[in-house]
Amino acid sequence: MKLFGNDSSRAERPRLSRNTADFAPISEAKANRAREQARKKADRARSQAYREYNRDGKKKTYAEAKQEAKARRSGTKPAAGQAAAPARGGMGRGKKAAIITVCVLAALLLGATGFAFYVSGTDTIYPNVSLGGVNLGGMTATEAAYELEVSGWSNSDETVTVALPMDRTLTVTAAEAGASVTAEQAAQTAFDYCHEGNIFACLARYLRCLVSGGSVEVEIDVDEAAVERLVDEAVARIMNDLNTSGVELDEADEVIRVVKGARDLSIDTASLSAQICARLAERSYGPLDFAIDEENAAELDVDSLYESVCREAKDAEYDGETDEVIPSVTGVDFDKAEAGRLWDEAGLGDTVEIPCEINEPEYTTERFEEMLFADSLGDPVSTSLSGSSANRITNVELAAQAIDGIILSPGEQFDYNSALGQRTEARGYKAAGAYSDGQVVQEVGGGICQVSSTLYYAALLANLQIDLRVCHYFPVGYLPAGLDATVSWGGPDFRFTNNRDWPVKITASVDRSANTVTVNIVGTDTDGSYVVMEHAVTGYVYGNEEYPETPTGYRAQTHRCVYDKDGNLLSRTTEANSEYHYHEEDIVYPTPSPSPTPVPTPAPEESARPGGEGIEGGEAPPSPGRDAPAAESGPIHLFT
């Protein structure tokens, strides 16, 4: 009998013997154990199949589940068409993929954030960033400025030029128009372009520059008003020249010769200004081609001629800011009606002679220059430096140098503290004796009051207006009473105004050989008048309540007397009232004496307390311990 059927093709296959005699007999117990093991094995396979069926949620037959479990145990893949069962205890593929994706995205975000911080905090310009055609990528702002500089960013000829009629050229520089941008400013603009915004904006800009590059434009703010002013001035000069072309002013013959037919042109200044501003904003320097409209040219008329030629006479003036004389102007005038008649009668191309009136100013340029600072306004005032320490003389020299050469225009005020500035050791001033709060102290700048006092007296002799003057607390030894002026940084101060019609100049110097300081005020003497100062002591000051009759100081009064060139008194005015105090050690207090034996009192007689107020003649008796200055008047040359 064939085991596998009757197919003859399988004839050569080996046959298995079914002879039971060949098997060894087994016991019943062993057979039962074998059957029990087979049953348990089948139960386990069935249970595993059900678990996988329930876990996958896929409806499988028991046979399919059993086959998959068997394949997993044997390590073989399931047959085609059969789904591979997931590993025991594992998770679904979708959940695992989601977790992996989230982790990757988190890592990428963390890396991008860190790189964004790095990019925003770097001190260089981003890659492939250019400005004005110069690649500045990877450079610091300083390096970029240098690169721009060597690449010709700072053009020495940052100008726009325009050709105008009459062979004139209008030139506007970037500096005049406020449109000049340095290489440093341009480099900083490129750096700011890269690093503005938050870290993610910087990161996005960095990546964009890295991939496609970046171009920075420097925004230039042009001062349009300044450009318009320059254009208007240039065009006005050209129009004036056009109006007066063929015009001759003959001052000797007092006629204006005009060639009839001179023309003016219309120039659109607004359009020209706008084009210049645009070129400057673009840093496009060089010639600007601007078309001048000549179609609306018109004949010169008499009114425009009058406006361009006629002017009022004007004296020469002094410009204190430039220290130059502004030239005088000769006045010109003519009758427009007569000029119009002559113009109408003339043919085109004829020379028309128009009578005119020439008016010379009172002070021509030549005469003004001759008179300027030509006269000494009063005698020079010199005061002695005898007994001064070397430090004090140094301070006096510095103060004299500070005011020497100062020019005051008419109406201008002089301020002593402003002229000298603060007296400090750094500026060369030294410690020397000075009065402060009623005491003699060592103070930096001590001695400068001698210069202010000498200047005060010189200003009086120049008949200038005194605005602020304070006398010393103690008398000074280099000037009579009432002619001194104390100063201190922060006050008091000394000020006066040039109330004359011409500028005045202060000259001051120290002569160490003569041991004097001299101040003089020069200007222009137009009438020959002069000043004499009267000064006198008017009485004592009694300031000690314990000794009410003991003088502790004195008062002085000065008068300004103005005379004409012939010596006639024009005016006498009170200039100042001053009060001085004696030094404590110079005050002589009365010594107590024994009471005398009483005697009969004689009849009272009228008397005035010596040195009291209202002393007749304004003359005071000598002060205790030191003589009070005697009454003096007249110009002073040297005080010791």
Q: What DSSP string runs through 489-529?
A: TTS---EEE--SSS-EEEEEEEETTTTEEEEEEEE--SS--
Pairing outcome for strands 214-216 and 129-131: parallel
Query: By the 8 A CB rule, do 405 and 320 touch?
Result: no
Q: What is the 8-class DSSP label of residue 20?
A: G
Question: Global pTM?
Answer: 0.51
Q: Which residues in 261-290 are b (16+ Cβ under 10 Å) and which e?
A: ebebbebeeeebbebbbebbbebebeebee
> Residue 360: pLDDT above 80?
yes
pLDDT bucket at 10, cuts 50 / 70 / 90: very low
SS (H, E, C) 437-494: CCEEEEEECCCHHHHHHHHHHHHHHCCCEEEECCCCCCCCCCCCCCCCCCCCCCCCCC
Question: 492 is written with which tokens?
Answer: 């008091």
Q: Look over the chain and give the mean of its residue pLDDT values, rounded to a whole number.
A: 79
pLDDT tens-digit map of 258-293? 876 545 456 788 888 888 888 877 777 888 888 775
pLDDT tens-digit map of 202-225? 878 788 787 877 777 776 778 888
Residue type, 379: D
Mean pLDDT of 484-489: 95
**Residue with more model confidence, 362 or 348:** 362
SS (H, E, C) 363-383: CCHHHHHHHCCCEECCCCEEE
Tell me which range, 14-18, 386-390, 585-589, is most confidently predicted by mean pLDDT.
386-390
- pLDDT of amino acid 145: 80
Q: What are phi and psi of 161, to 5 degrees?
A: -115, 145
pLDDT bucket at 366, cuts 50 / 70 / 90: very high
- Contacts of 557 by beta carbon, 8 Å cutoff, 6+ apart: 482, 535, 536, 538, 574, 576, 577, 578, 618
**Residue with more model confidence, 584 or 392:** 392
> Residue 616: pLDDT above 60?
no
> Residue 511: pLDDT above 70?
yes
pLDDT tens-digit map of 244-263? 556 788 888 899 888 765 45
> Residue 77: pLDDT above 70?
no
Mean pLDDT of 625-637: 38
CA distance 450 to 477: 10
Pairing outcome for strands 516-523 and 381-384: antiparallel
CA distance 536 to 451: 22
Q: Per mean pLDDT, which range of 7-11, 570-574, 592-596 is the poorest?
A: 7-11
pLDDT bucket at 613, cuts 50 / 70 / 90: very low
pLDDT bucket at 606, cuts 50 / 70 / 90: very low
- Contacts of 147 by beta carbon, 8 Å cutoff, 6+ apart: 134, 136, 139, 187
Sign of CA dihedral 217, 220, 221, 227: negative
CA distance 390 to 172: 57
Residue type, 573: T
Mean pLDDT of 330-346: 87
- pLDDT of amino acid 141: 82
- pLDDT of amino acid 634: 37
Pairing outcome for strands 293-299 and 263-266: antiparallel
Counting Cβ atoms within 10 Å, is residue 455 exposed (0-12), middle (13-18) or buried (19+)?
buried
CA distance 460 to 451: 14
> Residue 624: pLDDT above 60?
no
- pLDDT of amino acid 522: 97
pLDDT tens-digit map of 471-480? 999 999 999 9
Please report, rounded to a whole number, the percentage of residues in the chain having pLDDT higher than 70. 75
- pLDDT of amino acid 178: 73
CA distance 521 to 404: 10
98 by DSSP, 3-state: which?
Answer: helix
Exposure of 447 in the CB half-sphere (CA atoms within 13 A): 29
- pLDDT of amino acid 502: 95
**Residue with more model confidence, 561 or 286:** 561
pLDDT tens-digit map of 78-123? 555 554 445 444 556 777 788 888 888 887 777 778 777 777 778 8
Q: What are phi and psi of 153, to 5 degrees?
A: -65, -50
> Residue 611: pLDDT above 70?
no
Distances in whole angstroms, Cα of residue 634 to Cα of each of 192, 221, 385, 450, 474: 75, 66, 22, 20, 24
**H-helix or E-strand containing 561?**
strand 553-563
